[in-house]
Structure 1
């Protein structure tokens, strides 16, 4: 393989890697934070980059000239979309720093998207590009007068976007904000310089100076890859309520398990395929899929194996003992299901050793014994006599109770009574059986002790997960505009979690765990409804959500017009419980359009619910 051929193959892999990275980051933006305007505009930029480099990679690897022509047109489609997306992104970024558009910048963004649509129409009508040169070292389309006009449009629009980038940078004052903005501006160079289809204008250079061209293209793609990741890192902090350490860890996980793993598998597969073509005469052998699968699995394994080394550095767990303890909590926390599974094994071993048909463990709850787990078949627990718990708490030996022998289970540290282990009183308790009973009872008491610790920790941590997330949301909007620190809760965008809780509760409006166990019950307006009406949690959530929906009802008699659309969707879909297809047909909507309108309707319910929460808090403050 010549040096030029090596650079060309490396350039193809790098172009494909950029496309994979851009597509992966686009999915990341869609998954986590599309509500933020900066992130939405950035997702359009990523889509354009993915189209540009994906089309270039697929076109350069295509053996068919007709297919290569199609892929390179896809590259041009991404390049056409990119300038408008960049101005959109720069405008959203400038607005984030406290310089919102008065209408002119937003109008210009719309006009630029319209211009992009015009160039896309020229691309489809074969006027933007000339004939396709398939036999060049790098295939390309020749230029036309429309191509020259597009080049001027590209340069002018990008210059305009960069003016707004610089204005946004100058408006940041705090050192941390300026640092992140500098990262973003440096990363923004990548799509600006790397996505333009130079081959159309420099096609002759690929034949006259191939070494120089491919070396330049390879370095450009390496530069673009690094800066694209840097840009993604800077944008990842926009509009999210998570702490910075959480954003860093999530983004790195996403990059490693997505672009890095896929690009590594692609690079190794390409190398094996080319070596097979050179040494075996067959590019596609059994080694190609084997290399792809094994390389992907190996990279994923290495990520998981090394995660304990780099996660504490990114997340700050090494320097913070509280974060380290919270990170380990999931692995050491005993939930009720975990305890039940372990205690079932303990009771099964007890039944085998004592040759008894049933055994149970009951825990102390509100002065009575409540069955936690049982094995075998036995009669239900009778009501606990008042003296039984007192006797069990004061002694360690066996107790007789209504045909059962009970072994008290005490807290390992405080000595408090946690529960009892019971089995039929006709069991044969020889010396070996008693030793087994003591060992199993100790293990059961230890499991209940761990469970008690876990419940105490869970209750202590519940305050961190309540819907009152004013400070995290305030941090999200004030990262680059410090004036937003003065914003009131009503002026902040609602959290994505609150919107999901509302949707879940409405989906189980007539009963279900997402209603009865909804985190919305911790809202002040729900608590007030429970106190005023003496309702349980499910009834209170249902009542408040119904009131929120009714506040969206227009005045007058019900109609099936645009004004009533959002209310009709909420009332028919959730309050009446009708099927989606039935509601969509009644409202003359396609199912896709119905889901879009439903999302808007749910956002309106969240807005009204926040207003009701503010009213409830004000009323409580007056009291």
Structure 2
């Protein structure tokens, strides 16, 4: 058997089929993506129509390489003309929709679209069912084409004229853009706009018999490869531009979603098509049956491509999130570390089981504080243990007694866990005996805030009324108490995060709607005005330092008179109350923020609740010296500076809340929810310990 050989024409034919198949895959994939994510936008719908016509033309091109008779070639060529004939209308209606997004509407262009649609539909009917536009088939493999009919050249003129009018619409839309971002996107669209028309026009009919047939297949395929490759690239560019029309998500999300879809869909499909096209050659080389080679090649391509995409995901993320890489990393870390209710229950049950095995007892439980009540989170033990625990009605009193007893089990210490080096401190106490259980209060020391937080209780069935442990048991027990306390504290914080997210997500949607309105020039550019929305200073990383500087010069000075905090909306709203004096308005807002931190009741210099407010009051409003304040509060100067930083951070937090108060009113939860967090037990709802 003579070894196989490939001629230049065979290589060009193979490459042309591959690139035409690539265009079909891209057109179909981008059509599906556009209709999925941008269906409600008129620009996207008309672009999807354009993609569908391009797909029809190139699908017929691919089919023509496999036809075996003139009759089959004729049917596919006339089907191809369905896409060619309707393309002028698709071009103009798409460009007109883009132009209308700039608030440019004229009756003349609407009539042009209607006329072009009518002429395109008539041309499609002529091409499918008559010989007025195209006539007989010229079948000379690997080239097949139709002869020109009497109306072909009028159609070619119509095709070129409407395409140029559509190009003018895109150029006009680009000129009317006000922002550099929108103008850049329209530039991309303008560059790629002519590609579908150039790639789909039937040049073989125009050139006639003189340059058609097998003798001219090599140069025809070479030019076709260049043109089809250009069409494939420009379709991606156009789809990238259209993907931003009408979407309410951030550009980052659109870009990431498009790239992820493109790499996992069209790229893999193109690789599979390439493998299938090379299958006959591989089959001859390996000498294996076609089915075995087909399954092996396709499976290998799909799995390998997915592995490559997974490995290169970090590189793609760096390319997409160049400026927001750190924030995106934090968001993903948050998603990775969040504890669901099931996660917390499993975590607690595992640790309770370990405690029972360590202390050789049959039952244990953990409960978290929810307001004034205790919520049973996890129970391990024989059947009926949960019911027996719930029958005891004075667990809350037991917790209060345990906290008031304050019998320390040594010095509270920080346990360094693998997840965080500076974990909070869970205080250790001797347990008290109640209802057959040893009960430990779980209390977070609150070194930063200066206030202790009761997280819940840990109960272990007692071996005896006196709590006696070996040194090994005590060491492991301390670690378990730390971990359970930290888990309850994290879960409490995460519930607050969930409540906040439920409140702000509607506001985020509204922000996206605002930012989705791209400013364009009106019909009269001289009378146009574009309103710029400046970002609030509360989102600036230097916001807390600006607050500190303004407080330092609270009663006057350059750091107050020239503070960036003047950009706060709440300061502008307070100008009327400050006799139209911006400096006085800023001082008034800072004073209100400090006053919001004032605890209820009479002032007290000795209680932790009043510490931060007293520091702010004496340091910035009264202007006392550091040494004097430290003596009055009975703390060291170094501790005073540390608490002062915490207090300034609290002022910055209050200012942020004051700045967003209008949004808070807008996105507040419905009245029936009353903004309350609905706590759930681990597997049992509304089962609280009394």
The TM tier, using the shorter chain, reads 0.7 to 0.9
Q: Map of 1:115-194 to 2, 5 A cutoff?
A: 115-127=119-131, 128-194=133-199
CA distance in 2, matches of 1:402, 1:310: 59
Aligned equivalents of 1:283, 1:115: Cα separation in 2: 52
Cα deviation, residue 537, structure 1 = 7.0
After superposition, the Cα gap between the structure-2 partners of 1:20 and 1:471, relative to the gap in structure 1 and judged at 3 Å, is same
Q: Deviations over 1:190-212 (max 9, x none)?
A: 21211223333346435333222
**1:241 aligned residue:** 248
Q: What residue ranges of structure 2 are gaps of 5+ in the alignment?
A: 1-5, 409-428, 523-527, 534-662, 676-690
* Pairing partner for 2:434 from 373, 387, 401: 401
User: How far apart, in 2, do the equivalents of 1:296 and 1:194 lie?
Assistant: 30
Selected match of 1:476 from 479, 498, 516: 516
DSSP 3-state at the match of 1:130:
strand
Residue among 444, 448, 457 paired with 1:420: 457
1:9 Cα deviation from its structure 2 partner: 0.7
Gap change, CA 1:485 and 1:64, over 3 Å in 2: farther
| Partner residue in 2 for 1:13 | 18
Structure 1 CA distance for aligned equivalents of residues 396 and 286 of structure 2: 86
Decide whether the 8 Å contact of 1:84 with 1:112 is kept in 2.
yes
Q: What's the counterpart of residue 110 of structure 1? A: 114
- Following TM superposition, by how much is the alpha carbon of 1:324 offset from its aligned partner in structure 2, in angstroms? 3.2
Using the TM superposition, give the Cα deviation of residue 413 of structure 1 relative to its aligned residue in structure 2, in angstroms.
Answer: 5.8
Q: Who is 2:334 aligned against? A: 329
Shift of 1:143: 2.5
Correspondences of 1:489-504 after superposition (within 5 Å): none
Show the counterpart of 1:301: 307
Give the deviation of 1:55 after TM superposition.
2.3
Counterpart Cα distance in 2 of 1:118 and 1:370? 73
| 2:400 corresponding residue in structure 1 | 390
Residue 97 of structure 1 and its aligned partner are, at CA, apart by 1.7
Q: What is the distance in 2 between the residues matched to 1:274 and 1:74? A: 31
CA shift at 1:67, angstroms? 4.7
Cα 1:112–1:430, aligned 2, differ >3 Å: closer, same or farther? same
Tell me how far 1:479 sits from its aligned partner: 5.1
Q: Aligned pair in 2 of structure 1 residues 178, 63: CA closer, same or farther (>3 Å)?
A: same
Correspondent of 2:42 among 18, 37, 40:
37
Larger relative contact order, structure 1 or 2 (CA cutoff 8 Å, min sep 6): 2
Tell me: CA distance 1:404–1:274, structure 2 relative to 1, closer, same or farther (3 Å).
Answer: same
Equivalence map 1:130-529=2 (5 Å) = 130-202=135-207, 204-276=211-283, 278-279=284-285, 284-317=290-323, 321-376=326-381, 377=383, 378=385, 379-381=388-390, 382-393=392-403, 394=406, 395=408, 396-411=429-444, 414=447, 416-426=453-463, 431=470, 433-462=473-502, 464-467=504-507, 469-478=509-518, 480=520
Q: TM-score, normalised by structure 1?
A: 0.72
SS at match of 1:286: helix
Cα shift at 1:259 = 1.0
Go from structure 1 to structure 2 and tell me whether the alpha carbon gap of 1:220 and 1:257 turns closer, same or farther (over 3 Å shift). same
Residues 60 and 80, structure 2, Cα contact 8 Å, conserved in 1: yes
Contact 1:238-1:477 within 8 A present in 2 as well? no
What is the CA deviation profile of residues 497-546 of structure 1, one whole-angstrom value per residue up to 9, with x for unaligned ones?
xxxxxxxxxxxxxxxxxxxxxxxxx997996973xxxx4579xxxxxxxx
Separation (CA, whole Å) in 1 of partners of 2:75 and 2:488: 66
Q: 1:299 aligns to what SS in structure 2? A: helix
Q: Hey, what's the Cα distance between the residues in 2 that align with 1:21 and 1:281?
A: 33
More helix by share: 1
Give the Cα–Cα distance (whole angstroms) in 1 for the partners of residues 259 and 477 of structure 2.
50
Q: Deviations over 1:194-240 (max 9, x none)?
A: 12233333464353332221111111111111111111111111121
Cα 1:208–1:80, aligned 2, differ >3 Å: closer, same or farther? same
Q: Which has the larger radius of gyration?
A: 2
CA distance in 2, matches of 1:281, 1:201: 45
* Per-residue deviation, 1:380: 4.1
CA distance in 2 between partners of 1:245 and 1:225 (Å): 24
Cα 1:331/1:143, change in 2 over 3 Å: same
8 Å contact kept, 2:365–2:380: yes
The 2-side partners of 1:80 and 1:182 are apart by: 27
- On the 8 A contact 2:402/2:441 being kept in 1, the answer is yes
CA contact (8 A) 2:64 2:73 kept: yes
Provide the aligned length of Structure 1 versus Structure 2.
498
Q: 1:126 to 1:443 in 2, by over 3 A?
A: farther
- Specify whether residues 139 and 13 from structure 1 end up closer, same or farther in structure 2 by C-alpha distance, changes over 3 A only: same
Residue 22 (structure 1) aligned with residue 62 (structure 2): no
Counterpart position of 2:644: none
**Superposition TM-score, scaled by structure 2 size:** 0.66
1:296 and 1:413, CA in 2 relative to 1: closer, same or farther beyond 3 A?
farther
Moved more, 431-440 or 243-252: 431-440
Give the whole-Å Cα distance in 1 for the aligned partners of 2:340 and 2:94. 46
Contact conserved, 2:186 with 2:241, CA < 8 A, in 1? yes
* 3-state DSSP of counterpart to 1:92: helix
Match of 2:415 in 1: none
Deviation at 1:330, TM superposition (A): 1.2
